[in-house]
Chains A and B, each alone.
Chain A
Amino acid sequence: MTLEIKDLTGGYGQVAVLKKESFTVKDGQVVGLIGLNGAGKSTTIKHIIGLLTPRGGQILIDGMSLKQDVENYRKKIAYVPEMPILYPELTLKEHIDLTIMAYDLDHDKTWENANRLLKTFRLDNKLEWFPQNFSKGMKQKVMIVCAFMTEARLFIIDEPFTGLDPLAVKDLLDIVEEKKQAGCSVLMSTHILATVQDHADKFILLNNGQVRADGTLDELKAKFNMQDANLDDIYIKMSNEDN
């Protein structure tokens, strides 16, 4: 799976948040999308999953745009939003059934996957619960289970590490690694730089709706001329460039 973003311009209404943004996510890559509040991380994600329509540029998944084939484009993506969104009327078990139906997945095989994930996140004894009984972190875990049990090839996770307990963060990173080994790609936006630094292959630094720099940690160090730096240092240096 390859995600290609070429000269993407877009935003909400008349305000252009993204200005000619370009980057790619290749097969089996875990990519961290990094930037200050308002840099355009969530806006980029909303364009990729098709909640916003680009004003200019292209977004291609395996060479295919959303317009060309809506249903197949959507089947390739799984998305975990920053704020969990669940149906108040459905139990946890029914959320999984609904996802299986919506993505037209194989019932038994997917349930096998789901059960494994539910066990990992210690939700396997809460199948009959309604969302109103779940804490925020638990809801987020439900979203993660529903996303990672699908056969999507690109996983997009918006701020995955806030609200999860440390054990769940570790479990999530294990699952991400597993998907990576299977050849899937993962794009995650986050502020928790220390965590993402150890687990992503590549970083995209967004600033004011543009890609300021991208590459591996070593490449970024070279670009910013900071040899002993970690991601935090580079991030702060980039934010100071504006002033």
Chain B
Amino acid sequence: MNNLWRDRLRRHQLDQFKYLRLIFNDTFVLAFIVLLGALGFWYSNLLDTINSELWFGKIVVVAILFITVQAGHLATLMESPDSTFLLVREKQFYKYFQSAENYSRILPILLIAVVTFLLSPFAFQGAHISALSIVLLGLSAVIFKMVLLDIELLGLYGQHSIANINIKFASELIYLVVLLLSAYISAYIAPVVVLICWIVLMNRGQKWASEGQLQWQKAISDENQRMFRVKRFYNLFTDVPGVTSKIKRRKWLDFLFNSIKLNHKNTYLFMFARGVVRNNEYMGLFLRLTIVQIILLCLIDNFYVALIVEMLFIYLVGFQLKPYFKEVMQNLMQRLYPVSDKSKIADFTKISNVMLLVQWFVNIFAVVYKFGLSSNSLLINLGGLLVIVFLNYLYLPHQLKKYLVNGENI
């Protein structure tokens, strides 16, 4: 069983590594650094404005810690065929799950540590929580995460409640209460209480599990869903095989493309327009990036940083629309349609133009809000326009042609 876990873990990590390498490409790292810098700048400005304890300071600290603890689940790495092939090994699976639990602890602990670290200046300044106290609170979060993972493991054996009380719900409630007590009375309360819970679970866990029965169906579908969520996240940045994005009808948006005339020339305009509106992936990409951009532009005072944000985000949206073209072109039927490559490319750049111009237009308001009707405003907006021209009249036509005609990967 240990070998099975080791094999799966190695395969899983190779897989993750492959995707992470694709995600952290140059453009992304650049955008990430700018974003991080902007947020850091905003955070330090915010801290400067806090001079005395805020009445909601402690509540914010508690809420952030409580939400952070929820991140991360038990990664069992189970696969659908397990319920057929490994059914006979059911007894030994507890050991496998223990290894899985050990592995699942790493990321949440790191996350809690980072969040606690970033939170500490605010906790100190805005909530008047001492350094030792914030460390104790972070520690309690780490231990509580262990408790939550233990509870998830029990759930795999169908043990969800003791005396008709849902264990997960009850422990979340207890943790929230002790966190609040810790913040307002003594920071020792939370770590001590969750430590006791954890020790109880460590001692009794295996016995409770063996009283239940391994829920194969649930374990496998939970893991599949977890993997799907992870892959869907990766899919935002790169193509992940087997992840198809959700399609929604959105009838109320039909007016957006109803004016497209149904004639031969518009074949692909018809198709692409519906695609970007209904495909959650591309609609989501557009909305997410545009909203983040507006927020950043409303916050950033520095002309150069604002200019970079304006240009970079427009570039990112345009750049990441490219996979949609590939997705449509991979459909076998489209290769049989008597439509020229030139009109496919022209139709795609039309769609990309409309989307990016909408993004650009919305940004004008944010820029004018921050910089007023000044030459700086004008320059920033011109910068954005320049990126659109570059993308739709130079970069995309060239790349798409390379893909269609020469069959090169783009």
Residue B256 at the A interface, CB < 8 A? no
**8 Å CB interface, B281-340 against A:** 328, 331-333, 335-340
Structural contact, B339 and A102, CB atoms closer than 8 A: yes
Residues from chain A with Cβ under 8 Å of B335 in the complex: 50-51
Residue of B nearest to A79 (CB): B336
Residues from chain B with Cβ under 8 Å of A98 in the complex: 267, 270-271
Q: Could you say which of A71, A91, A132 contacts B338, with CB atoms under 8 Å apart?
A: A71
Residues from chain A with Cβ under 8 Å of B267 in the complex: 98, 101-102
Residues from chain A with Cβ under 8 Å of B271 in the complex: 87, 89-90, 98
Residue B244 at the A interface, CB < 8 A? yes
Give the complex CA separation of A89 and B327 in angstroms. Answer: 11
Give the complex CA separation of A49 and B320 in angstroms. Answer: 32
Q: Given known contacts A88-B247, A98-B270, A130-B247, is B336 in contact with A50 (CB within 8 Å)?
A: yes
Residues from chain A with Cβ under 8 Å of B279 in the complex: 88-89
Structural contact, B270 and A101, CB atoms closer than 8 A: yes
Structural contact, A97 and B262, CB atoms closer than 8 A: yes
Residue B160 at the A interface, CB < 8 A? no
Residues from chain B with Cβ under 8 Å of A215 in the complex: none
Residues from chain A with Cβ under 8 Å of B244 in the complex: 88
Structural contact, A107 and B262, CB atoms closer than 8 A: yes
Structural contact, A87 and B331, CB atoms closer than 8 A: yes
Give the complex CA separation of A118 and B247 in angstroms. Answer: 24
Interface string of B352-372 (1 = CB under 8 A from A): 000000000000000000000
Give the complex CA separation of A81 and B331 in angstroms. Answer: 12
Interface string of B244-273 (1 = CB under 8 A from A): 100101000000000000111011001100
Question: Which of A77, A79, A89, A104 has the most C-beta atoms of chain B within 10 angstroms of its own C-beta?
Answer: A89
Residues from chain B with Cβ under 8 Å of A90 in the complex: 271, 274
Give the complex CA separation of A81 and B335 in angstroms. Answer: 13
Question: A47: shortest Cβ distance to chain B, in Å?
Answer: 13
Q: How many residues of chain A get a CB closer than 8 Å to chain B's CBs? A: 29
Residues from chain B with Cβ under 8 Å of A74 in the complex: 336-338
Give the complex CA separation of A87 and B272 in angstroms. Answer: 11
Structural contact, B332 and A85, CB atoms closer than 8 A: yes
Give the complex CA separation of A87 and B331 in angstroms. Answer: 8
Structural contact, A104 and B338, CB atoms closer than 8 A: yes
Give the complex CA separation of A102 and B337 in angstroms. Answer: 6
Residue of B nearest to A73 (CB): B338
Q: Given known contacts A74-B337, A75-B338, A102-B338, is B270 in contact with A132 (CB within 8 Å)?
A: no
Q: Given known contacts A89-B279, A101-B266, is B274 in contact with A77 (CB within 8 Å)?
A: no
Residue of B nearest to A103 (CB): B338
Give the complex CA separation of A146 and B230 in angstroms. Answer: 37
Q: How many residues of chain B get a CB closer than 8 Å to chain A's CBs? A: 24
Residue B57 at the A interface, CB < 8 A? no
Question: B384: shortest Cβ distance to chain A, in Å?
Answer: 28
Interface string of A95-121 (1 = CB under 8 A from B): 001101111100100000000000000
Interface string of A29-72 (1 = CB under 8 A from B): 00000000000000000000111000000000000000000111
Residue B275 at the A interface, CB < 8 A? yes
Structural contact, B332 and A81, CB atoms closer than 8 A: yes
Residue A159 at the B interface, CB < 8 A? no
Give the complex CA separation of A230 and B374 in angstroms. Answer: 87
Question: Which of A88, A98, A101 has the most C-beta atoms of chain B within 10 angstroms of its own C-beta?
Answer: A101
Residue B145 at the A interface, CB < 8 A? no
Give the complex CA separation of A103 and B263 in angstroms. Answer: 10
Residues from chain B with Cβ under 8 Å of A94 in the complex: 270, 274
Residues from chain A with Cβ under 8 Å of B274 in the complex: 89-90, 94
Interface string of A108-151 (1 = CB under 8 A from B): 00000000000000000000101010000000000000000000
Q: Could you say which of B263, B278, B336 contacts A89, with CB atoms under 8 Å apart?
A: B278
Residue of B nearest to A76 (CB): B338
Residues from chain A with Cβ under 8 Å of B262 in the complex: 97, 100-101, 107
Question: A93: shortest Cβ distance to chain B, in Å?
Answer: 11
**8 Å CB interface, A154-191 against B:** none
Give the complex CA separation of A91 and B336 in angstroms. Answer: 20
Structural contact, A101 and B264, CB atoms closer than 8 A: yes
Question: A54: shortest Cβ distance to chain B, in Å?
Answer: 16
Give the complex CA separation of A119 and B219 in angstroms. Answer: 44
Residues from chain B with Cβ under 8 Å of A101 in the complex: 262-264, 266-267, 270
Give the complex CA separation of A104 and B339 in angstroms. Answer: 9
Residues from chain A with Cβ under 8 Å of B264 in the complex: 101-102, 104
Question: A12: shortest Cβ distance to chain B, in Å?
Answer: 14
Q: Given known contacts A98-B267, A104-B264, is B328 in contact with A71 (CB within 8 Å)?
A: no
Structural contact, A130 and B249, CB atoms closer than 8 A: yes
Residues from chain A with Cβ under 8 Å of B337 in the complex: 74, 102-103
Give the complex CA separation of A98 and B304 in angstroms. Answer: 46
Can you name 23 A-B pairs with beta carbons within 8 Å? A49-B336, A50-B336, A51-B332, A51-B336, A70-B338, A71-B338, A71-B340, A72-B338, A74-B338, A81-B332, A88-B279, A89-B278, A90-B271, A90-B274, A100-B262, A101-B262, A101-B264, A101-B270, A102-B337, A102-B339, A103-B337, A130-B247, A130-B249
Closest 3 CB pairs of A and B: A102-B337, A104-B264, A74-B338
Q: Could you tell me which A residues sit within 8 Å of B by CB distance?
A: 49-51, 70-72, 74-75, 77, 79, 81, 85, 87-91, 94, 97-98, 100-104, 107, 128, 130, 132
**New contact pairs (13) apart from A85-B332, A87-B331, CB-CB < 8 Å:** A51-B332, A51-B335, A72-B338, A74-B337, A89-B279, A90-B271, A94-B270, A98-B270, A101-B270, A103-B338, A104-B264, A107-B262, A132-B247
